[in-house]
Amino acid sequence: MNRVKTFKTILWAITGLAVAFGAARMIFGLGAVSNLSDATPWGIWKGLNVVPGIALAAGGFVVTAVIYIMRREEFHRYAKITVLLAFLGYITAATALVAELGLPWMVWHPIIYWQHHSALFEVSWCVMLYLTVLFLEFLPTPLESTGSLAAIRRFLTKYKLVLVFLGVMISTLHQSSLGTMFLITPDKLHGLWYSSLLPILFFVSAVAVGPLMLILAVLTISALYRKPIETDILAKLAGASAIVLGLFGLIRLIDLAANGKLGLAFDGSGSAVVFLIEFTIGVLLPVAILSVKRLRRSQAGLWVAAIAGVMGIGLHRANIAGIQLVHTGPTYVPTIYEIGISLGIISAAILAFLFCVERFRMWETPWEDPRQAPEAAPEFDRVADVWLGTPRIAGRTVYSLVFIVALAAGLAIVSTDRIESSGIKEVRAVPARGGDTLFVDGNLDGYGVSFAHKAHVDREGGNASCSRCHHMSLPHDQQSGCATCHSGMYTAADVFRHDWHAGPDGGNLTCNMCHATDRERSAESAKTCDECHKDLIPTNAQITVKQYMAPSYTDAMHGVCIQCHEQKAQQLAGKESLARCATCHGQRQTEYLPAGVYEQFRDTSFNRVITPPMATGGQSDGKDAE
């Protein structure tokens, strides 16, 4: 076997395994094959295939822009390869996304169901559009050899510039909005990676690493098919890439310094070490190599710089997409199935890439001996009844055998236990604390809303207005607090307690006190609570109780506030901001924490307060402590 065949055999084997694992994932669900959980919903598929993959595919718009817009004709020979690389890169990312999301038949939902306020909505639209653009950009290449559909090929070639422009536009949008998405993680992402400049950093790093990935692909093909390497042209591309890479490093350093976070890089923590490694191999090493002309023009220099740059930027993306996020659950380690699917998708993409290289004319420059070109079609000698050259179907027996055996082995080792989520963890909501102003922080994580209770009472009309919000109270109580019934932070809770009513504490009621004797005893046939407890619902209560399942604390708080706030925002002039999230959730309400807690428990690496001691016990009220 020659090296191409060996290489492809290995790739077919990995692909076969991944198909088996992927089938298990689709049939038995995420739990059967992955270690993903509610605490770590983004694993290796996002961290390896999707977020870094999109960056590595950026050559599709960077290099085409250089060729067709900046009119640098010397790079024209790589136009087809870079488009193919980007096309396959995006398909890789999309496939990994489908593997993770599941329900592939709902993939069209973002087209119909619009979520304007989601950064992912924009990303999904851009990826859909850009995949279409890339497909149209690539389409002329396979059509070249068929001869049919020449009209389509001519049309697409004629309007290539339009496609290139579209590609640049859409890519600029979504490469940066992929960074935008992580702006919602200021208190989850480690300080060395979180930055308000993430959109810009994502875009710049994509521009830098796209050409490096192309160089890596060209070097790989040249090594596989023994094509002489045009180091002088690649060196120009690499040099330009190094400048952008340097710019990326500079922005990062200045940003860190300006925010006073540079010190975090040298505090000796694991994250700091990862940062230093990432910065060294992703920025310093390639920039250093590529800035020396002799190294830039040498094969070894190009290899090292391209691999380092690709890996470094990939690590940067992986860090942001998962590694450096705060983990609240158990440590996430990907299963062999997750790794298999991840690598399998990449292997399949490489196979598709090699298929195109062997089948279509991907190179503008002719080979010295045209018969040695990978895409050279073998001739069939009718007289001798033999192929001259390698037949295109060569190796199919080996590849298919390896593929099916790997697939079967994958099915054999895959776990067939369907694992289901244990559901949402029940968190009991803690009543709001404070006096005239209440600090509403049901899960005690230090984030909450300070609710000006007295101000609201005054505005709404004194004591007569209680029933505006308080719509149900405990028996013999007036205006019970919200958390009394809405006792689940994220889950609905049953207000009625049957055991308690039937037990000694609840008056030892017999069944027929509530249930009719002549009917089946069920919740439906029983008396309603207010038939006995006349004082349960305050007079003039404005919120009607329809059932005795109280919605979760968060839902209840949002439900009672937002409706009114949205009305007032429209009615009152100059109060438009009332309807915005940040009006209530704006600042960190440090003044309601006991003195010193914020400073003591503030994790400087993350913009975050670790759960203050109130959560673990003491009834130490914020006000009292002060």
Partner 1 sequence: MEALLDFAKGPLFRFSFAVMILGLVRIVVLDIWGAVNAYRRAGDKKLDWNGAIRNTLHWLFPVKHVFARRPVYSLLSIFFHIGLIVVPIFLLAHIQLWKAGIGLSWWSLPPVWADTLTLATIGFALALLIGRMGSAGARYLSRKQDYLWPVMLIIPFITGYFCANVVLGAGTYQLLMLIHILSGELILLLLPFSKIAHCVLMPMSQFVVALAWKFPARVDDEICTTLHKKGAPV
- Up-side HSE of residue 561: CA atoms within 13 Å toward CB? 21
* Shortest Å distance, C-beta 396 to partner 1: 7
The C-alpha atoms of residue 435 and residue 453 are separated, in whole angstroms, by 8
How is residue 235 written in tokens?
Answer: 């060196």
CB 385 → partner 1: shortest distance, Å?
9
Amino acid at 401: L
Instruction: Give the shortest CB-405-to-partner 1 separation in angstroms.
Output: 6
Name the residue with tokens 């396959």: 88
Which two tokens mark 464? 């007569």
Residues 6+ apart with CB under 8 A from 354: 4, 7, 8, 224
Q: Of 25 and 470, which has the nearer Cβ to partner 1?
A: 25
Using CB under 8 A as the criterion, which residues of the chain lie in contact with partner 1 when the complex forms? Answer: 20, 380, 382, 393, 396-397, 400-401, 404-405, 407-409, 411-413
At closest approach, how far in Å is the CB of 382 from partner 1? 8
Other beta carbons within 10 angstroms of residue 542's beta carbon come to 13
Shortest CB 384 distance to partner 1, Å: 13
Rounded Cα distance, 156 and 133, in Å: 11
The nearer residue to partner 1, 24 or 85, going by C-beta atoms, is: 24
Q: In this structure, what token pair is assigned to residue 154?
A: 């001519």
Beta strands in 454-543 (DSSP E): 493-494
Taking the least distance from each CB to partner 1, the nearer of 226 and 396 is: 396
Query: In degrees, to the nearest 5, what angle opens at C-alpha 410 toward C-alphas 409 and 414?
Result: 120
Residues 11, 56: Cα–Cα separation, whole Å: 20
Q: What tokens does 423 get?
A: 């559901």
Closer Cβ to partner 1, 381 or 591, answer by number:
381
Q: Considering the complex, state which of residue 392 and residue 533 has its C-beta at the smaller distance from partner 1.
A: 392
Q: Smallest gap, in angstroms, from Cβ of residue 18 to partner 1?
A: 15
Centre a 10 Å sphere on the Cβ of residue 496 and count the other Cβ atoms it contains: 16
Q: How far is the CB of 321 from partner 1 (least distance, A)?
A: 34
Q: Please give the sequence-ordered ranges of beta strands (E in DSSP) within 471-595, or none if there are none.
A: 493-494, 549-550
CB of 99 to partner 1, least distance (A): 20
Within 13 Å and on the Cβ side, how many CA atoms surround 294?
0
* Dihedrals phi, psi of 388, to nearest 5 degrees: -100, 115
Q: Please identify, using beta-carbon distances, which residue of 396 and 527 lies nearer to partner 1.
A: 396
Smallest distance, partner 1 to C-beta of residue 358, A: 17
Smallest CA-to-CA distance from 345 within 145, 11, 92 is with: 92
Least distance CB 410 / partner 1 (angstroms):
9
- How many angstroms separate the CA atoms of 215 and 619, rounded? 63
H or E segment to which residue 439 belongs: strand 437-440
Is the Cβ of residue 236 or residue 359 nearer to partner 1 in the bound state? 359
Q: Which is nearer to partner 1, 372 or 415 (CB)?
A: 415
3-state secondary structure of 284: helix
Q: Which is nearer to partner 1, 385 or 499 (CB)?
A: 385
Joined tokens for residue 401: 């055998």
394 or 502: CB nearest partner 1? 394
Which of 8, 174 has the CB closer to partner 1? Answer: 8
CB 482, CB 431: distance < 8 Å = yes
Token pair for 361: 């004319």
Q: How far is the CB of 356 from partner 1 (least distance, A)?
A: 20
End-to-end CA distance of the chain: 79
- The amino acid sitting at 333 is V
